[in-house]
Structure 1
Amino acid sequence: MDLPEARARFQQLRAADGSVAAAELDDIWAVLPTARPEEILGEWKGGEFDTGHPLNGVLTQADWYGKTFASVHDAKPLICRDAEGALYSNRELGQGEASLWTVEFRGEATATMVYDGRPVLDHFKWVDDTTLMGIMNAKGVPAEGPYYYFFLERAPQPSGEGARAGAGS
């Protein structure tokens, strides 16, 4: 699979109803370009792939909106909506917040969010200029998974700021 095929397949799977095979997501992940922590700063709207992982549906129940990376040392992994619809950082669910690091995962160094209060890592790679694919990894998870697969879309920015230059190449 080459990069254009991976991008097209990612969009198909994202739009599909029902479950997605983790192996197919792994094939896509393998060809996507890595990200650097400073490239992904900003606000992101999230969604998940239903692979049958135990976390599937949990974030929806918490009214998860996405993630905010204010700086490499100030990452908010669980931006949720309250009863009135306002966004807030759900520190209780996340047991704190997080920071961004470059961490090797599957032989590649890529942007990774390290949770403050949980032994959890979210690894990120670029799908295109405004979309990230994420894989959640945690202490005790074997090398073959199961992993939690999700995606982030850059939230609308005033005056078009925030798109990563070069991710589309």
Structure 2
Amino acid sequence: MTADDLAALEPACTPTAALAFFDGLAAVEARDLIGRWRGRELATGHPMDGLLAASGWYGKQFDDIDHVHPLLFATPAGEIFPVEPRWIPLGLIDKVPPAAVSRGRVVLGVLTPVLRARKHRARLREVRDRGVVTAAMVYDHLPIIDVFRRVDDRTVLGVMDLRRIPRPYFFILQRD
């Protein structure tokens, strides 16, 4: 599986195709994720499709194994900052359309002081997922685990496992 194969799945594919691609990828070690990564969604019909992009999601920052900023956002002015995940209204995921989120993004610059994470809010661990031991990001205060597989040296495919939503949410991270 290569970046070209991933590009063939974008911008949208079925959950079955995304899972088959994910299952064909190699594991990634946690230490290989250290650094800042820019994210984008892989649309599969998940209730979250379009929400992160509309909200100004930038990606993730792995400072070391135990110090991760799981959500980086960019203000309309381009400032990148870590967001406190507990302020994300997970209960509204399937109730708010991306267009409404996008309209609300204009206030992101004003809300930055309130939303900004003061501490790292996740850590990396290696877990067995779908029969493969690979890196995963575990949120400190939310029932979320993001599992990663390697596409190439600069790209990983992530699958978000959110406890109350049985379908996986797919995203792509590329090293900054």
**1:82 equivalenced with 2:75 (yes/no):** yes
The alpha carbon displacement at 1:104 in A equals: 1.1
Counterpart amino acid of 1:150?
Answer: F
Q: Partners in 2 of 1:126 and 1:105 — Cα distance?
A: 14
Does the residue aligned with 1:146 lie in a helix, a strand or coil? strand
**Deviation of 1:32 (Å):** 0.6
Structure 2, unaligned runs of 5 or more: 90-114
The higher relative CO (CA closer than 8 Å, separation ≥ 6) is in 2
1: CA distance between counterparts of 2:146 and 2:122? 10
Give yes or no for the alignment of 1:41 onto 2:30.
no
**Correspondence for 2:105:** none
Structure whose residues are more often helix by fraction: 2
1:73 alignment partner in structure 2: 66
Q: Amino acid of the residue matched to residue 140 of structure 2?
A: D
Q: Which residue of 1 aligns with 2:170?
A: 149
Structure 2: how far apart are the matches of 1:69 and 1:93?
20
Render the CA deviation track for 1:87-130: whole Å, top value 9, x for unaligned. Answer: 00011339962110011111111100001111000000100110
The residue identity in structure 1 corresponding to 2:6 is: F
Is structure 2 residue 78 aligned with structure 1 residue 54? no
Equivalent residue runs for 1:150-169 within 5 Å = 150-155=171-176
Percent of aligned pairs sharing the same letter: 30
- Aligned AA (1:127): V
Runs of 4+ residues deviating >4 angstroms = none
Return the match for 1:105 from 84, 109, 129: 129
Give the AA of the match of 2:32: E
SS in 2 for 1:53: coil
Mapping 1:13-28, distance limit 5 Å:
13-14=9-10, 16=11, 19-28=12-21
- TM-score, L = length of structure 2: 0.76
Size of the aligned set, in residue pairs, is 145
Q: What's the offset of the Cα at 1:52?
A: 1.2
| 2:88 aligned partner | 93
1:70-96, CA deviations, whole angstroms, 9 ceiling, x for partnerless residues?
A: 011111111001242200001133996
C-alpha separation in 2, matches of 1:22 and 1:9:
15
Distance 2:76 2:131 in 1: 42
Give the structure 2 partner of residue 8 of structure 1.
4
1:160 paired residue number: none
RMSD: 1.8
C-alpha separation in 2, matches of 1:130 and 1:84:
26
Residue 9 of structure 1, CA deviation: 2.1
Q: Secondary structure at the match of 1:56?
A: coil
TM-score of the pair, normalised by structure 1: 0.79
